Structure 1
Amino acid sequence: MNLKNLFLFTAILYFTGVRANDIAIGRASLVGERIVEFIPKGYDRNKTPSLILRSEPKPRGPVPKDWALTPRFVLTGDKASAYLRLSGDISLYGGGEVTGPLLRNGQHIKLWNTDTGAYGVEEGKRLYQSHPWVMGVRRDGTAFGIIFDSSWKSELRTESDEIKFNTEGALFRIYIIDRESPQAVLKGLAELTGTIQMPPLWALGYHQCRFSYGTEKKVTEIADTFRAKKIPCDVIWMDIDYMDGYRVFTFHPENFPNPAKLNDDLHQKGFRAVYMIDPGVKADRNYSVYQSGTKKDVWVKTPSGNEYHGKVWPGDCAFPDFTSPKSREWWSGLYRNFMATGADGIWNDMNEPAINDNELPEGQRLGTMPYNTPHRGGGGLPAGPHLLYHNAYGRLMVEASYKGIMDANPAKRPFLLTRSNLLGGQRFAATWTGDNLASWDHLKLSVPMSVTLGLSGQPFSGPDIGGFLNNTSGDLWANWLGFGVFLPFVRGHACAGTNDKEPWAFGDEIEKTSRIALERRYRLLPYIYTQFFHASRTGVPVMAPVFFSDPANLKLRSEEQAFLLGEDLLVIPAFAQKPALPSGTWEEINLVEGDGIDKYQAKLKIRGGSVIPLGKIVQNTGEKLFDPLTLIVCPDEEGNAQGQLYTDAGDGWSYKKGDYSLMTFAAKQKNDMITIRATKKEGNRNPSDEIKEIHAEVYLKGRVYKGSGTLEKGIQIDIKKQ
């Protein structure tokens, strides 16, 4: 805090009569490799429980003698804050779902999950999620990260000389990770907060959604058009209009009279079906879900003990108190019959929780429950006000939803998407960046937003491609899809009242562009699936900033147009103007016919020294991806290259018992001969059952050399003969 700010802060406290007191650190201990826990004196987990950590860390020893990062705790009245002084030239990142630039120096975030449709791209907007986390990267590429373990309403400021975290609640713990690289720091974050579960393969395909495809007939029409036009797609989404009067866990008797048949028909055509479930339950005494919840006494109540009601899509709604184990168990149980219709995935929306209180005077509108609304807690969570639990409401909801989906279909991997979440909630759900706008500003913003989510522990995210709100032009759609297909989560979506936003909706030229873009995505699925496997093991993001290729290169620190997919693929969107790119060997590659001349497609460059596995063009992930397998090879200056391919059953849990294959491919150039072969294998799965033939394309100094072979024999290419 500089002297001017310190003076103003002191003056405010003097005139308001509120004193700020430094709070001593009660305990500091090592809880992991270069991970230190700081607990202030007076910390009470009954006032600030952890809803972020995967499990309670155990002290392993004293703080290392060379440790330089120590926070300062401050209590102003009953509101806790923390500060971390910085020295040297440090680039700051993180904060989760944020607007503004990728580089967070001089930025701030309001951490109070809010339904913010058509949010501005400027800094400081309250969005749908809270990630009280910052990562700093020093000039030499070493890095640190800091978790503020609190769900209280708060604000995070990342000044160049200090990180500030101010809450409206009680004292909290801090965890600081200090390691040799940004990637190592993110692995430490995953050690504390957990990783994503390995998603089903189909969830990595293309998703098509609209608010809403209002009838079973319309859903079938959309699915049939994808197949007739040979545009790859795996998932059709059902927004709230499939419900009976917006009552969750119901189906409209006229528009969706037979969901089991609809889901079966979609499955027969190679599609999966995802349905929206909101937390607000219509307060209707003739509605079985409301009856059941009332009987079980699961609802949030007012301070006077009455049922809390807030207006959402169905009108007056009651809300489960997800802090209560009894309420979470009840909510989980609702999924059994719903999933029995053949639903494949669930979409939890409006779960900040969002409340329509526009009838109140403007100064009284909160958009959610009043701050003093009590939550009962239980099972290790204390009772507490909404001011404490608001930012965790969606996180607790998706935990209950995840369990319900698992209980209903224990042999399948759940797919769950959420709008609201808290740092650590990636253990239960993927996310998207909310109700964005059909604009060039939002198109460009979708890159740093998704990268920052990856830098905050959530590797499975993406925007509504094309923009959710307002009409979308063909030019905007094609530009967005041209790079959007390389984001971790790929969904086209449109709001009610806007124009059609399917890949064929903008004329023949844009339809062709869309097909090319999606075919590129599907060819890359073997590589993308492998990156998700690594993310599920280590927490390293699928989509990363370009400075990950060289953390000590300061010129890359603020690049937010281009990005990395895994370590070995550089994506340069068509909109990018003079992006800062990593040095070294990066060869431009082509994946499908026409992608090199289509003006809307992102450029793809492979890193020298790498091998990238590709599949063939398929219409959905139920088809054989590896028939044949293609290896894209780019030797480094010494003529070497290496890469991995992960395969498993595509769904289910047998991979946890060894039913998977993680193969390492190595290429070696000696004079004019390039040899490519599988050198290592992990797991019990036999890849030869799926991969009968291998093709190779070697990118070398602007030329492409091709060859074929098998897993057993490998591939040899004599570049002099081509």
Structure 2
Amino acid sequence: MIEIMHYRAFLLEIQKTGINLLPNFMIQPTFRHFQRVTGEQRVNIELPVGTSFYGTGEVSGGLERTGKRIFTWNTDSYGYGVETTSLYQSHPWVLAVLPNGKSLEILADTTKRCEIDLRKTSNIRIVSPSPYPLITFGPFSSTADVLMSFSHAVGTVFMPPKWSLGYQQCRCSYSSDARVREVWPGPCVFPDFTKSEAHSWWASLVKDFVTNGADGLWNDMNEPAVKTETKTMPESNIHRGDLQQGGKQNHSHYHNVYGMLMARSTYEGMKLAKEQKRPFVLTRAGFVGSQRGLADSHIQGQILVDLLGMQHQSC
């Protein structure tokens, strides 16, 4: 079961009934606050005492996220550790396992920067700019059922080529500094993948490249990463997106999906070159649904090559 709850309808329902929005036969979370404050939408969801939390996308540390706070903002996080709150991909959803064994999932349907705060016992707090809908999956009798429902909604990965299955490791950092400088691309520009013209142009370049013998491609630094204090381009930069993508918006709107749009263009270019072969696209940045129709794989970023770094490997 999927229930879509938008801010205004949600607020009206709270005013009428006081608390619950889920059907009576379901375990009902209590929405204590659903409000707009200084340009932000803030949601607090109270669940039964003893509820544990998982999910929240690409994060460092253990699978259980109870007591953690995460910011979904694609970030170049070299040498990340257990205290790092933003990594290379953004997946603003929380899986809640209730004390009776049932599970439900909450997805904040927004591409913008999102704070997910699970530090208060049995409480989910979600804060993000501008109104956004919440989508609830479940409760279902098992975690597997919730994740299956979620997968039906956001899509599943296509079968990758057989040669790509198994462990992979990048060895680029093992070269000398001189060798790395030889292959460094130099000044870079960022195609606006929110526009169909840029999408098609990039796919045509990929087609030519793959035709010359490449079996797989790696999209790196596509958070997008920029060597500045904010680690990305200014949020005020303008993307002139197609209407179906969201139209003309500043970078804060498209930042978290930039890598996904790039990976999609890359995938389509590979299909143009070799229609009968399964493409393999490795991408560092991504968003909810980036796996849909891409047959892509996600790298887990740049940990330090030591025991502590391996312990902090993202889940």
Aligned pair in 2 of structure 1 residues 242, 135: CA closer, same or farther (>3 Å)?
farther
Contact 1:69 1:176 in 2 (8 A): no
Show the counterpart of 2:18: none
Q: Match for 1:373: what amino acid? A: N
Q: Match for 1:150: what amino acid? A: T
Summarize the alignment of residues 291-440 of structure 1 with structure 2, pairs less than 5 Å apart.
314-315=186-187, 317-357=188-228, 365-380=229-244, 381-427=246-292, 428=294, 429-440=296-307
Cα displacement (A) at 1:242:
8.5
**Does 1:150 find its partner at 2:14?**
no
Q: Aligned partners of 1:131 and 1:242: how far apart in 2?
A: 36
Contact 2:52 2:122 in 1 (8 A): no
Summarize the alignment of residues 711-722 of structure 1 with structure 2, pairs less than 5 Å apart.
none
Cα displacement (A) at 1:77:
2.2
Cα displacement (A) at 1:160:
2.2
Q: Aligned partners of 1:391 and 1:420: how far apart in 2?
A: 8
Q: Match for 1:38: what amino acid? A: M
Contact 1:81 1:171 in 2 (8 A): no
Contact 1:121 1:442 in 2 (8 A): no
**Match of 1:334, SS?**
helix
Show the counterpart of 2:7: 40
The superposition leaves residues 213-268 of structure 1 with CA deviations (integer Å, 9 ceiling, x where unpaired) of: 88xxxxxxxxxxxxxxxxxxxxxxxx98785x62xxxxxxxxxxxxxxxxxxxxxx
Cα displacement (A) at 1:83:
2.2
Q: How many residues align?
A: 295
**Does 1:133 find its partner at 2:93?**
yes
Q: Match for 1:339: what amino acid? A: V
**Match of 2:54, SS?**
strand
Summarize the alignment of residues 110-121 of structure 1 with structure 2, pairs less than 5 Å apart.
110-121=71-82
Contact 2:48 2:99 in 1 (8 A): no
Aligned pair in 2 of structure 1 residues 339, 241: CA closer, same or farther (>3 Å)?
farther
Aligned pair in 2 of structure 1 residues 173, 100: CA closer, same or farther (>3 Å)?
same
Show the counterpart of 2:15: none
Summarize the alignment of residues 44-123 of structure 1 with structure 2, pairs less than 5 Å apart.
64-67=23-26, 68-69=28-29, 71=31, 72-122=33-83
Contact 1:121 1:441 in 2 (8 A): no
Contact 2:80 2:312 in 1 (8 A): no
Q: Aligned partners of 1:78 and 1:207: how far apart in 2?
A: 43
RMSD over equivalenced CA pairs, Å:
2.3
Summarize the alignment of residues 276-675 of structure 1 with structure 2, pairs less than 5 Å apart.
314-315=186-187, 317-357=188-228, 365-380=229-244, 381-427=246-292, 428=294, 429-446=296-313, 449-450=314-315
Larger Rg: 1
**Match of 1:177, SS?**
strand
Contact 2:7 2:131 in 1 (8 A): yes
The superposition leaves residues 521-562 of structure 1 with CA deviations (integer Å, 9 ceiling, x where unpaired) of: xxxxxxxxxxxxxxxxxxxxxxxxxxxxxxxxxxxxxxxxxx
Summarize the alignment of residues 259-270 of structure 1 with structure 2, pairs less than 5 Å apart.
none
Cα displacement (A) at 1:208:
4.9
Contact 1:324 1:379 in 2 (8 A): no
Cα displacement (A) at 1:150:
0.6
Q: Aligned partners of 2:40 and 2:169: how far apart in 1?
A: 45
Note the residue ranges of structure 1 that are not aligned, 5 or more in a row: 1-33, 44-61, 215-238, 247-313, 358-364, 451-722
Contact 1:95 1:132 in 2 (8 A): yes
Contact 1:119 1:125 in 2 (8 A): no
User: Which is bigger in relative contact order (C-alpha 8 A, separation at least 6)?
Assistant: 2
Cα displacement (A) at 1:119:
1.1
Aligned pair in 2 of structure 1 residues 201, 84: CA closer, same or farther (>3 Å)?
same
Cα displacement (A) at 1:42:
8.0
Note the residue ranges of structure 2 that are not aligned, 5 or more in a row: 11-20
What is the TM-score normalised by the length of structure 1? 0.39
Cα displacement (A) at 1:110:
1.6
Cα displacement (A) at 1:154:
1.9
Cα displacement (A) at 1:101:
2.9
Show the counterpart of 1:461: none
Percent identical among aligned pairs is 36
Aligned pair in 2 of structure 1 residues 419, 208: CA closer, same or farther (>3 Å)?
closer
Cα displacement (A) at 1:127:
1.1
Show the counterpart of 1:501: none
Contact 1:375 1:385 in 2 (8 A): yes
**Match of 1:134, SS?**
strand
Show the counterpart of 1:473: none
Aligned pair in 2 of structure 1 residues 160, 347: CA closer, same or farther (>3 Å)?
same
